[in-house]
Amino acid sequence: MTGSTAPAAAPQGAPAPLPRPAAPPPTTPPADAVLPPRAPGAPAPGTPIEPHYDLCFGCGPQRPDGLQLTAVAGEGLTVDARFTVRAVHQGGPGLAHGGLLTTAMDETLGTLNWLLHAPAVTGRLETDFVRPVPVDSELHIHAWVTGVHGRKVYSAAEGRIGGPDGPVAIRAQALFIQVKLEHFTTHGRPEDIKKALDDPDLFKRARAFEVNP
């Protein structure tokens, strides 16, 4: 005997044993993560958070087929968002598509980054679907930062049907990674980047991140 804790070799032809997870899930903040204060200039609690890009599928007002999700800054590092599931969002008959609900969680969780005043992109997003969401439902999503560690922002959210106290339909945990603004000006399709940079409002909002990193 060597004293090793490695699982015994599987009999020939049998599937190999599954490896055990070595670390906590990557969307759970490490013990030394911090909860920073809201950034100076972050939208005050109760204030609507403007869409970050008019053509965004999640929040863009110029996307009639999108979610047109709206968000309001909450207390501390929290956000409350809403969107109404429409017929174009169906997966099963009369039911919201799961991937689309995940998009709503991604969008809401992403909005938390305005409170930290640092641009960030989703690295990992985990979603639990708890109950089906019928078309015409209004989904109320509450999201909060669970910790920040270097460039990594950990967060969680819960979506309820019909109101902030309605039944929970969806839960999510995410890891966002803070990036430089160049992330958005170098990777996308050039004509879209040019259009976005020509929009003085969007440019002003994007610049605010650079002034208050």
Where on the chain is the footprint of ligand 3IX (CB under 6 A)? Answer: 26, 52-53, 58, 106-107, 110-111, 113-114, 119, 121-124, 150-152, 175, 177, 179, 184-185, 193, 196-197, 202, 206
Of 114 and 169, the one with the shorter C-beta distance to ligand 3IX is: 114
CB of 179 to ligand 3IX, least distance (A): 5
Of 128 and 136, the one with the shorter C-beta distance to ligand 3IX is: 128
CB of 95 to ligand 3IX, least distance (A): 23
DSSP per residue, 40-102: TTPPPTTPEEPPS-TT-TTT-TT-TTS---EEEE-SSSEEEEEEE--GGGBSSTTBB-HHHHH
Q: Is 166 exposed, middle or buried (0-12, 13-18, 19+ CB in 10 A)?
A: middle
The residue nearest ligand 3IX at its CB is: 110
CB of 114 to ligand 3IX, least distance (A): 6
Of 50 and 166, the one with the shorter C-beta distance to ligand 3IX is: 50
CB of 75 to ligand 3IX, least distance (A): 19
Of 20 and 204, the one with the shorter C-beta distance to ligand 3IX is: 204
